[in-house]
Amino acid sequence: MKRIGVTMVAALVTAVLVGSPALAAHKRSTVSCKQIKDAIAAGKSEEDVQKDLKVSAARVKNCTAPAPAKKHRAAKKT
């Protein structure tokens, strides 16, 4: 009986230690594009924004890139 209890506790501790980094890796970014744009407008470089707000270079680039121009389709005449 004692052996089963020790085994269960060991399995639980192992699961918590192994599962924690995996759960943290999938954490969503809570930094908005507005916060990134405000930091850049305040004079920070893109690298400083990445470090200070803990966001990726791709996130900064995505937020600071100009929006693509909309394509207008000509109306079809019938």
Structure confidence by residue, pLDDT tens digits, 28-57: 658 999 999 999 999 999 999 999 999 999
Q: Cα–Cα distance between 19 and 33 in angstroms, integer?
A: 30
What is the structure's pLDDT at 7? 66
Which whole-number Å values give the CA distances from 36 to 22, 42, 49, 58, 78, in the listed order? Answer: 27, 10, 7, 12, 48
What is the structure's pLDDT at 63? 93
Q: Cα–Cα distance between 40 and 3 in angstroms, integer?
A: 59
pTM of the model: 0.52
Q: Cα–Cα distance between 27 and 71 in angstroms, integer?
A: 35
Residues 6+ apart with CB under 8 A from 62: 33
